[in-house]
């Protein structure tokens, strides 16, 4: 598979890194010499210094042989023109574009059905708002992914020192959790991703990823000592495009929302845009302002400014002053390993949200969704099992999956099955598959031939 990526920023760089590790042929185009140098020094990908919206540059990149074009620069116009040129030169190439401006929100279907025929428009701001809403709905979760329209959830929970499940072997969880036992897909322990067995014990500090049916979620969370109270009062720090989108979504849910924005001009705009949200003009990291706004009564603080350090400081300060929980926007991947150390657990990143959206469209065939696990060490995919697939009609324990691959859920009509080794996949079942990074290319190759998807 040949993939051309227009844009070598954080999204382009990390998608290229992800794909080259799967032995895909990747070409990266950018006008910034430093960004191109970073790619060529770090990734086994072809690089071209130039504009991805230039037909000459696209020809040099081999657009006619490319299966996919990803236009992910920071400029919506560049991404649109790149897709238009690609559509002119190679109509069969699948095109995905990152477009952030809200003015384009109502035109996504038009872009798909007419030139430039963009199959998928990815708005990372919309995706990160969805991520925040999922985190709000699952108490204590560090990561939340959804499959089967939300009926199945992948949840990442951090185990504290006093957690009652610390020291428990996985095969003993049935006696500790009311209802169906969740399937533990993986454990992230000291930055190492572990595919556990029933004999493995849970340890303090583990980030445990489990699959659970939505109806069993509350019982499972209680077993992990995560007890949620309804989120009713929210303070948003940062009135940019993401903050505005989030406030509008929360208004629809009739929640009490306040938003703090530093720019007086932007505050005036927000007052016109938002109907019920209280707009405050000031510095979200100002202790006196937070106290004046009774921060101790706030259920959730979401820091969404364009400055990483301000978001981190404001989140820490809000929690120190009594806010119940915080969600922090971080856009530098290098900061992620530091967050737990300084006391920040719930982090969102528009770029990572964009990457997850892109992944599902890169996978071959009938992949319905894909989520990258923290650090891109693994991926969870939802796909349709075709009638001719070798996975159909035999117990899972009899199927020779690559190492690090696990079927974590089977969706049959309205029924959700958390599988065992004896479970059998039927034609047209939707299956949720967990795969470690090093096994993705193997399962993709195997399933592309035998299952006619991925």
DSSP result, 51-90: -TT-HHHHHHHTGGG-SEEEE--S-HHHHHHHHHHHHHH-
Q: Which residues contact 445 (CB under 8 A, 6 or more apart)?
A: none
Give the whole-angstrom CA distance, residue 403 versus residue 307. Answer: 41
Is residue 45 within 8 A of residue 29, CB to CB? The reply is no
pLDDT at site 437: 80
DSSP SS3 for 47: strand
Tokens of 375: 């650090």
The predicted-structure confidence for 197-207, as pLDDT tens digits, reads as follows 889 999 999 99
Give the whole-angstrom CA distance, residue 279 versus residue 265. Answer: 12
Closest CA to 9 of 39, 46, 47: 39
Cα–Cα distance list, 220 to 162, 163, 173, 236, 408 (Å): 17, 13, 10, 29, 16
- Cis check for the bond before 172: say yes or no (omega within 30 of 0): no
Q: Which residues contact 292 (CB under 8 A, 6 or more apart)?
A: none
Q: Where in the chain is the domain with CATH 3.30.70.1450?
A: 128-223, 353-450
In CATH terms, is domain 353-450 a member of 3.30.70.1450? yes
CB atoms within 10 A of CB 214: 15
The predicted-structure confidence for 34-68, as pLDDT tens digits, reads as follows 999 999 999 999 999 999 999 999 999 999 999 99
Q: Give the strand order in the sheet containing 347-348.
A: 278-281, 256-261, 233-237, 300-303, 325-329, 347-348
Q: Where in the chain is the domain with CATH 3.40.50.720?
A: 2-122, 233-348
Q: How many residues does the chain have?
A: 454
pLDDT at site 376: 65
Provide CATH code, domain 128-223.
Answer: 3.30.70.1450
pLDDT at site 227: 78
Structurally, at CATH architecture level, domain 2-122 sits in 3-Layer(aba) Sandwich (3.40)
Closest CA to 299 of 256, 346, 253, 242: 256
Pick the CATH number of 233-348 from 3.20.20.150, 3.40.50.720, 3.90.1150.10, 2.60.120.260: 3.40.50.720
Tokens 């990266």 label which residue? Answer: 28
DSSP SS3 for 153: strand
pLDDT along the chain (454 residues), means of 10: 94 90 92 97 96 97 96 96 97 95 92 94 92 90 88 91 90 76 86 87 92 85 82 96 96 96 96 96 95 95 94 95 94 75 86 81 71 77 80 87 88 90 91 86 58 40
Specify the DSSP element, H or E, that contains 258: strand 256-261
Is residue 425 within 8 A of residue 385, CB to CB? The reply is yes
Q: Which residues contact 44 (CB under 8 A, 6 or more apart)?
A: 20
Q: Which residues contact 196 (CB under 8 A, 6 or more apart)?
A: 170, 184, 186, 187
pLDDT at site 32: 98
CB atoms within 10 A of CB 92: 8
């Amino acid at each position: 598979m040949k993939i051309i990526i227009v844009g070598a920023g954080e999204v382009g760089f990390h998608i290229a890194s992800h794909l080259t590790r799967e032995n895909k042929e990747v070409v990266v185009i950018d006008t910034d010499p430093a960004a191109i140098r970073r790619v060529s020094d770090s990734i086994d990908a072809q690089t071209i210094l130039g504009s991805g919206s230039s037909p000459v540059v696209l020809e040099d990149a081999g657009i006619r042989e490319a299966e996919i074009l990803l236009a992910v620069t920071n400029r919506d116009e560049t991404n649109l023109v790149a897709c238009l040129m690609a559509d002119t030169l190679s109509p069969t190439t699948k095109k995905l574009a990152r477009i952030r401006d809200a003015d384009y929100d109502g035109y996504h279907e038009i872009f798909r059905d007419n030139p430039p025929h963009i199959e998928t428009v990815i708005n990372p701001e919309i995706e990160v708002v969805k991520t925040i809403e999922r985190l709000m709905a699952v108490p204590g979760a560090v990561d939340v992914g959804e499959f089967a329209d939300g009926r199945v959830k992948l949840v990442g929970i951090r185990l504290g020192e006093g957690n009652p499940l610390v020291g428990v072997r996985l095969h003993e969880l049935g006696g500790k959790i009311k209802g169906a036992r969740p399937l533990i897909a993986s454990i992230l322990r000291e930055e190492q991703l572990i595919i556990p067995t029933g004999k493995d014990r849970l340890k303090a500090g583990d980030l445990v990823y489990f699959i659970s049916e939505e109806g069993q979620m509350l019982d499972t969370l209680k077993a992990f000592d995560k007890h949620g109270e309804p989120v009713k009062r929210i303070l948003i720090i940062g009135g940019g495009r993401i903050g505005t989108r989030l406030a509008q979504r929360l208004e629809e849910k009739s929640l009490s929302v306040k938003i703090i924005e530093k720019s007086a001009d932007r505050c005036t705009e927000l007052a016109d845009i938002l109907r019920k949200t209280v707009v405050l003009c000031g510095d979200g990291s100002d202790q006196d302002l937070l106290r004046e706004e009774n921060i101790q009564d706030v259920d959730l603080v979401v820091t969404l400014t364009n400055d990483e350090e301000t978001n981190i400081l404001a989140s820490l300060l809000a929690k120190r002053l009594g806010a119940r929980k915080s969600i922090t926007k971080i856009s530098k991947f290098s900061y992620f390993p530091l967050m737990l150390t300084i006391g920040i657990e719930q982090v969102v990143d528009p770029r990572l949200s964009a990457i997850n959206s892109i992944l599902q469209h890169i996978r071959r065939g009938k992949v319905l969704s894909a989520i990258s696990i923290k650090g891109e060490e693994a991926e969870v995919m939802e796909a349709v099992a075709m009638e001719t697939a070798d996975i159909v009609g035999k117990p899972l324990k009899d199927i020779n999956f690559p190492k690090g691959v696990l079927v974590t859920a089977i969706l049959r009509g309205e029924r959700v099955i958390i599988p065992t080794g004896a479970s059998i996949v039927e034609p047209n079942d939707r299956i949720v598959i967990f795969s470690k990074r090093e096994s993705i290319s193997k399962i993709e190759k195997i399933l592309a031939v035998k299952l006619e998807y991925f």
